[in-house]
Structure 1
Amino acid sequence: MAPVESNGADEEVARPRFVRPYTITSGRTHATVDLPLEATLRLDAAKARASVSSAALAVLEVCDRRSVAECAALVKMPIGVVRVLLSDLVEHGFVRVQATITENSSKDERIELIERTLRGLRTY
């Protein structure tokens, strides 16, 4: 039962409870997919979403064309929790992760990513 407090007008209002992050992720603390904070996510709109949790659905609703860090900020959840949820969504095929620049990236890959980023910025 949620804690109850009075609002001063002889009515009792239930306060929402704090949900522990490990409850949202079923006790998992590590993502199974490598998700850098700056990784851009793409939503696969053709997939059915009936089997995802409400927390994962909240992440799914905001993740298209955003970074992992942006998603965490928008759903107001810790970044670790969002990474675990996004990892599940990637594994189920609901979300794709666009490439990021790494030490092993070729010059052509870096240029292509920078150009794609500039195109994205220009569309805003």
Structure 2
Amino acid sequence: MTPADPDPFDPSAAEDMVIRPFLLTGGRTRPVQDGLRVETLIHAREAVSSAGLRFEHRQIVQLCREPTSLAEISAALKVPFGVARVLVSDLVADGSVVVTQREELSIQLIERIRDRVRAL
């Protein structure tokens, strides 16, 4: 081990270690579950045990005890959004989490919001 290499047994160095995104997703770039958007809310099922899940999946289930957006999951795990989407889609497919889609905003509501922001 050279002086520039982080000590693998030092807990503070663990945060600096980089894991390639393709290792987290098993090389997959497309989610199993289609339609997961940035604002999609994810909620863990009550009876789900995170004991048998991989590390990242277990983190997602723990994060989603309360409804959490896909963007928040991505930020909390410090992974690219596409990676978070693949990981969450795996959990949706096995029934560990549930997806709640928010209804899309109407054009009228978007225009009202725009007008009020301009008025500020």
Work out the CA distance in 2 between the residues paired with 1:5 and 1:70.
Answer: 36
The RMSD of aligned alpha carbons is 2.4
Matched AA of 2:51: A
Match in the other structure for 1:20: 20
Equivalent residues in 2 for 1:1-124, closer than 5 Å: 4-5=2-3, 13-14=7-8, 15-16=13-14, 17-33=17-33, 34-63=35-64, 64-102=66-104
Work out the CA distance in 1 between the residues paired with 2:77 and 2:41.
Answer: 16
Q: Using CA pairs under 8 Å that are at least 6 residues apart, name the structure with larger relative contact order, 1 or 2.
A: 2
> TM-score w.r.t. structure 2 length?
0.69
Matched AA of 1:29: T
> TM-score w.r.t. structure 1 length?
0.67
Identity of aligned residues (%): 31
Matched AA of 2:7: V
Cα deviations across residues 24-60 of structure 1 (Å, max 9, x unaligned)?
1000001111211101111102023333211111122
Q: SS at the partner of 1:74?
A: helix
Work out the CA distance in 2 between the residues paired with 1:56 and 1:76.
Answer: 14
Work out the CA distance in 1 between the residues paired with 2:43 and 2:7.
Answer: 40
Q: SS at the partner of 2:37?
A: coil
Question: How many residues in Structure 1 have an aligned counterpart in Structure 2?
Answer: 97
Residues 38 and 67, structure 1, Cα contact 8 Å, conserved in 2: yes
Matched AA of 1:57: R
Show structure 1 runs of 4+ deviating over 6 A: none
Which sections of structure 2, spanning at least 5 residues, go unmatched? Answer: 107-120
Q: SS at the partner of 1:5?
A: coil
